[in-house]
Amino acid sequence: MKQILAIDGPSGAGKSTLSRALARSLNYLHLDTGAMYRAVALAAIEAGVPLNDPEGLDKLCSVIDIKLKDEPDGLVVLLDGEDVTEQIRTPEISIASSNVSAVSEVRRQLVRLQREMGAQGGVIAEGRDVGTVVFPGTRAKFYIDASLWERARRRHEELKEKGADDTLEQVMAEIEQRDKNDSARSDSPLRIADDAIIVDTTYMTPEEVVKYIAEKVRELEKD
């Protein structure tokens, strides 16, 4: 039986890369919950809605259309029909999404949408509260982590490939602030589910992580 696979962890731990690879390996749908919050943040900035305005963000979430599409080259994020995949990966949107994700009204609307997307199983959902809030009943829960320095190094390399000139120190400071925001928010803070398997990827290759988790999931599919 196909599972709902919950992948949680802090910023820069490699959740997106891992989830894409697992989706291909297991033939599952990749549900990037973080990308959905980033899309809301982008929509709010473009619409001039303050990132700390619950009522305004609630209204915004009720009218915007967010869709995720698995393509051969990776996940495509559509906001009101426009491809915003690259736009939502900037440091500015990263910090903004941390702010909007702390707003209960935003979380309520997106959690409902995420549950609808994953209702039939065969889904890899990644984020910061997937195993604790969105799909607490799933048996396939993994918390992906890595050292702060390694997470910053990975994100820095990713940004360099896209032409950004942020320094490693800047990226590390942004990730550290994101960690504080995500862990301190009152609504659905980042935490490890009691029954999650913790995977420290600091010294693991992406292939090793994929193999390890895929084997665990296939064992669950047999039950």
- Could you tell me the two tokens for 211? 């193999």
Whole-angstrom CA distances from 150 to 10, 168, 202, 218 are 12, 10, 6, 29
Which pLDDT band holds residue 189 (cuts at 50, 70, 90)? confident
- Could you tell me the two tokens for 107? 């979380």
Residue 6: what pLDDT?
Answer: 95
What pairs with residue 125 in β-bridges? 6, 31
Residue 220: what pLDDT?
Answer: 85
pTM for the full predicted model:
0.80
Q: Which of 17, 57, 3 is nearest to 155 (CA)?
A: 17
Which domains are present in the chain? 4-218 (3.40.50.300)
pLDDT digit string (tens) for 29-74? 888 888 999 999 999 999 999 999 999 999 999 999 999 887 877 7
Of 11-20, 66-75, 152-161, give the lowest mean pLDDT range.
66-75
22, 124 Cβ separation under 8 angstroms = yes
